[in-house]
Structure 1
Amino acid sequence: MPEQGFATVVAVDGPAAAGKTTTCLALARSFDLRYLESGRTYRIIAFEALQREIPVDNTGKITGLCDELITESRSESLLTSERYAPEKLRAAPVNVAVSTVAKIAEVRQRVTSLIRLWAGAQTRCVIEGRDIGTAIFPAATVKFYLTARPEIRAMRRVRQERAASYENVLNDVIRRDAADMSRTVSPLVAAEDAIRIDTSELSLVEVLSRMSSACRNRGLEINR
């Protein structure tokens, strides 16, 4: 059943570098879905906090910053703002700070509201994150949980970013997993009805084939 109030929501959750973005973009092309990376908003908030020297563990100040950024970007939506270069949002300091920002309940509530508003304006969409199928759209049309061994994910991230050492990236992946899975509000966990796919030994074509088949089984048609 589609999420109430939305025609089609495909939810894709999972830890960092499990293949969410690549497969979501491919799914979006195949099924004519609008795509949203929900975690980017938390990165924007973390980036701005670092730029303004606001302690990321100060709940009140970070929540206030979130409200300010939402107000400033209302015309384009903070979710889809193009003012931030990807390399800045993926910088090492942001990678560390974003976990702290993302566990603030008040911030998650605001970002969740933004995501639901965005999805409400779409006919068909695919949204990636860490709590899309559990907290934000528990009745999504189809849910996926992508994962892979930490060592595999770290190697992928090294190839993507071509900067940090493998050891540092692996440590960061493990740290981020622990932070996301242990937070009190909307922890990273697979929804009970999510289709789990371990991408460690699978090619993009193989992962996309499994996801596409599941989408078709739920009534989505390939874009031709």
Structure 2
Amino acid sequence: MESSTGGPVVAVDGTSGSGKSSTCRGVADRLGLRYLDTGAQFRAMTWWMLREGVDIHDADAVAARAGEPTIVSGTDPLAPTIEVDGVDVAVEIRSDRVTGAVSPVSTVPEVRARLLELQREIIDADGGIVVEGRDIGSVVWPQAEVKLYLTADANARALRRAAEEGGSDVAATERVLAERDRIDSGRATAPLVMADGAVHVDTTYHSLDEVIDQVVQLVQQAVG
């Protein structure tokens, strides 16, 4: 079974720090699929708003300018890229400033509508794709052949994220992740939910390779 893209669409949603990015890149590489990190697009939009001096807590101000930046996502799982107006912002979007601002920007319906259109254009291009985010299986591409929902317990997520950030305080990281989940799960537009038909994968007690193996098997079973 294949989608209109000419290959399977694997929609991977879940909580921050559950291993979505590493899993999705590994699965896409193993299966020869493209890869899209939708979270990077929201971070790119947030980076642009901050650069332009837009008050990120003023939803009307954010909405008014959501259509201005040109955001381009590279889909090579081994070397994904993200550009805003022709500028590589892969490093800048991971800054503490952007991390602290991405949730209020992401809740603005006009931002989500703009990026939803972009995400669907990328998915609908030639070739299968693994897409990670918070609402891929529920909103962006509900017809995906494979839908997954990745989670891990709070402490495991905080440990992983703190390690990624160079040894950040684990307790503080856990609080930040909990707040991010609270905002994303409670927003009116496209909240973080487990999509209908999604397979729940708990990564807490599994290595990255074990999770990738599990997801690859699920994809192969689904698409034959």
Per the normalisation by structure 2, the TM-score is 0.89
What is the distance in 2 between the residues matched to 1:62 and 1:96?
Answer: 16
**What does 1:126-145 correspond to in 2, within 5 Å?**
126-145=130-149
Give the structure 2 partner of residue 60 of structure 1: 60
**Could you say if the C-alpha distance between residues 114 and 89 of structure 1 is closer, same or farther in structure 2, counting changes exceeding 3 Å?**
same
Q: Percent identity?
A: 33
Partner residue of 1:203 out of 204, 207, 210 = 207
For the structure 1 residues 134 and 16, does the alpha-carbon distance in structure 2 shift closer, same or farther, using more than 3 Å as the test?
Answer: same
Q: Distance in 1 between matches of 2:61 and 2:182?
A: 24
Whether the 8 Å CA contact 1:6–1:119 is kept in 2: the answer is no
1:181 corresponds in structure 2 to 185
Matches within 5 A, 1:35-184: 35-70=35-70, 73=71, 76=72, 81-82=82-83, 83-184=87-188
Distance 1:91 1:164 in 2: 13
Per the normalisation by structure 1, the TM-score is 0.89
Provide the alpha-carbon RMSD of the alignment: 1.9
Aligned counterpart, 2:78: none
> What is the one-letter code of the residue matched to 1:121?
A
| CA distance, structure 2, for counterparts of residue 19 and residue 117 of structure 1 | 25
Deviation at 1:94, TM superposition (A): 1.3
Return 5+ residue gaps in structure 2 as ranges: 76-80
Aligned to 2:13: 13
When residues 62 and 3 of structure 1 are mapped into structure 2, their CA distance, relative to the original with a 3 A threshold, is farther
Of 102-111 and 159-168, the range deviating more from structure 2: 159-168
Change (3 A) 1:5 1:78: closer
Q: Higher helix fraction: Structure 1 or Structure 2?
A: 1
Q: Which residue of the partner structure matches residue 26 of structure 1?
A: 26
**Structure 1 segments unaligned to the other structure (5+ residues):** none
Q: Determine helix, strand or coil for the equivalent of 1:185.
A: coil
Alpha-carbon distance in 1 for matches of 2:56, 2:2? 36
Task: Name the CA distance, whole Å, in 2 between partners of 1:196 and 1:4.
Answer: 25
Secondary structure, in 3 states, of the residue corresponding to 2:17? coil
Report which stretch shifted further, 105-114 or 87-96: 87-96
Q: Following the alignment from structure 1 to structure 2, what is the Cα–Cα distance between the partners of residues 178 and 3?
A: 33
